[in-house]
Structure 1
């Protein structure tokens, strides 16, 4: 496994995105344990994209503008819905003290949906991972699964770290309601911006 793959994968995973923002929001509002559930859900959300890439469905998605647009707009709509939910101070992403904790299962399901409805992940598996599979390899599928496993492991570790670090300062933020509302607004705007960016993405 090349150092280039590890470095590039880390940069892709660590860069701000929907999963990272979701995990940070959960860590701030519900603590480290629940943020681990969010990180786990974001990691699980990668599996359908991996399966689609392995079966060749992603190539079809990449080639078909209609399919890509349908998938893209569904993901964008979901992100904008999350933005509205956070802005109105509801749901598991809320950062205000009055909102009760949500179940770990609910957090996992929402995290899976966030990554499931992101067509860029599917394109990533087609355009990025094959570059690190040797042309002369006799086991390209096994090589892709190994690279994907590394990508998923790194995703979980980085997102979990984000969530735990966020939870470490959560109690300080909880004592300042005005600051918490400000964080609510920031996360809502971030989800809206990501949704809008996804809506205008090209295959």
Structure 2
């Protein structure tokens, strides 16, 4: 597991997207526990995508060095695309009703799971992302990608949990400053572009 993988994964999980916005809005509206359950649900929702990447690509990478190179450049291109998309994203809007009663725990888990399951971009990302960090010529790509997938899931939950704690702790300040998410989008969008370029040139 390389530093490049950890830095790229960290940029991915910290970048404001649907999971982050849902965790933030839940934490702001209903507090820490609700935000943490949403973070857990978002993380669990990545399992089918990661499993598909592990099982479907392992055989392909084992048989074709050309496929490995194509996927590596595809991963780099997708990171750059994601960065540009993030930079062009309009001001994020959080749907928050602070007076509403917290949803039940099961609903807080199921909602983000479905959100990720129905997100085709997440599938594309997993297929492009994991193989890019498997050394060429690896005898067992599945064994090489499994710890990467587990590490990505762990980082995802920790990042989302951090957003949940932050949202619950600074509810009043964040609700009065919607421009905050715009600035974060710009920072991480630029990080995606830089990391994608570095991966393409590696």
* TM-score, with length taken from structure 1: 0.64
Report the secondary structure of 1:39's partner residue.
Answer: helix
2:147 is the alignment partner of 1:136 = no
Deviations for 1:155-191, whole angstroms, at most 9, x for unmatched residues? 0001110111000122x36xxxxx68x97xx9xxxxx
* Structure 2 unmatched runs, 5+: 61-92, 182-202
Q: Does residue 24 in structure 1 map to residue 24 in structure 2? A: yes
Query: Residues of 2 paired with 1:156 and 1:96: CA distance?
Result: 24
Q: What are the Cα deviations for residues 18-69 of structure 1, in whole angstroms up to 9, with x where unaligned?
A: 0000000011011111111000000000001112223329x9xxxxxxxxxx
Task: Give the Å deviation of 1:94.
Answer: 5.4
**In the TM superposition, what are the counterparts of 1:1-203 in structure 2 within 5 Å?**
1-56=1-56, 95-170=96-171, 172=172
The 1-side partners of 2:123 and 2:145 are apart by 13
- SS of equivalent to 2:156: helix
The 2-side partners of 1:138 and 1:158 are apart by 32
Deviating more after overlay: 137-146 vs 14-23: 137-146
Q: Which runs of 4+ in 1 moved over 3 A?
A: none
Q: State which drifts further: 2-11 or 117-126.
A: 117-126
SS of residue in 1 equivalent to 2:96: coil
Residue 119 of structure 1: CA displacement? 1.2
Q: Tell me the distance in 2 between the aligned counterparts of 1:112 and 1:122.
A: 14
| SS at 1:56 equivalent | helix
Distance 1:98 1:22 in 2: 17
CA distance in 1, matches of 2:164, 2:127: 29
Deviations 1:54-113 (A, max 9, x none): 3329x9xxxxxxxxxxxxxxxxxxxxxxxxxxx9xxxxx852233111112101100101
Count matched residues. 145
Scaled by the length of structure 2, the TM-score of the pair is 0.65
SS in 1 for 2:127: helix
